[in-house]
Amino acid sequence: MNETAAPGWFPDPFGRHEKRWYDGAAWTERVSSHGREGVDQPVGDGRVPTVGRPADKIRADVAKAGGGRGVGGGTLLTEPVLVVNQKAKLIEVNNEYAIFDQHGTQVGAVRQVGQSTAKKLLRVVTSLDQFLTHTLQIVDMSGTPLLTLTRPAKLMKSRIVVADGGGREVGQIVQENMVGKIRFGLHAGGAKVGAIKAENWRAWNFSIVDGDGTEVARITKTWEGLAKTLFTTADNFVVHIHRPLDEPLRSLVAASALGVDTALKQDARGLG
């Protein structure tokens, strides 16, 4: 959303309703769905998923993935190492993740939004939800969205649309193949600005490169025993960002671990 935009109804950047009222300076709690207006919970609603994972285990994950990196800025978009832990559930109907820095301090989270009761039921009793739209919000510790990831309904390859906290598109994570080592292109402004490359056919670890092919980050799957050995169960993984990045690549890299996980989790039956 352009900060100078006139007041009006726009697609809800937080994914909870069809439209949300922008007052010319900020998003409000006025919302509209199916032609009916209402009042939503506050935009920064404080609902931040946690997983209760001890700091020593977080640090152990970082060590297994190659160790720590420098000093970060204390926020989700300024830390050089992000540790992403999915909240384990017996039956998963909403994806939730906690995001930590390399020392074990939680700096943000991911929550799935826009799940209707019917869609949740589909996730329990069928595999049809893999073809439906899925939306995730990356939020800070106040619950305010920083990035929104939307994987539109699809038949074959996945595409993840990444938007900033104001609902403006940052870029897209686009699946390029379905057989062999999975690859995703990072696109912004009509150009390919980078790529995500699986390092083995099981898609456990990924290299993230810029437009010149230079590695700028790495996603490493960490292990929690036999029940959590693939990206199709409750996942733990570490993102190492090798150097400070400019936009839009910085946001696309931060979104990449969740974008890849969303694509592979929903496409698990077709990735063999």
Pick 162 or 131 by higher pLDDT: 162
Task: Give the 3-state secondary structure of residue 125.
Answer: helix
Return the pLDDT at 14.
Answer: 64
User: Does 131 have pLDDT greater than 80?
Assistant: no
pTM of the model as a whole: 0.75
Name the CATH code of domain 55-271 (choices 3.40.50.1100, 3.90.1140.10, 3.40.1550.10, 2.40.160.200). Answer: 2.40.160.200
* Spatial separation of the C-alpha atoms in residues 170 and 10, rounded to whole Å: 17
* Spatial separation of the C-alpha atoms in residues 125 and 239, rounded to whole Å: 33
Report the percentage of the chain scoring pLDDT > 90: 38
Q: Which of 39-48, 174-183, 258-267 is predicted with the least confidence, judged by mean pLDDT?
A: 39-48
Give the number of residues written for the chain: 272
Q: Which of 146-150, 186-190, 215-219 is predicted with the least confidence, judged by mean pLDDT?
A: 146-150
- Per-residue pLDDT tens over the stretch 71-83: 889 999 999 999 9
Residues of the chain with CATH 2.40.160.200: 55-271
State both tokens at 5: 């935009």
Give CA torsion, residues 17, 94, 91, 84, to 10 deg: 180
User: Does 157 have pLDDT greater than 90?
Assistant: no
Return the pLDDT at 75.
Answer: 92
* Spatial separation of the C-alpha atoms in residues 189 and 269, rounded to whole Å: 32
Phi, psi (degrees; rounded to nearest 5) at 67: 90, 175
Task: Respond yes or no on whether the N-terminal peptide bond of residue 248 is cis (omega within 30° of 0).
Answer: yes
- Per-residue pLDDT tens over the stretch 236-248: 889 999 999 999 9
* Mean of pLDDT values over 223-240: 62
Residue 171 near residue 190, CB atoms below 8 Å: no
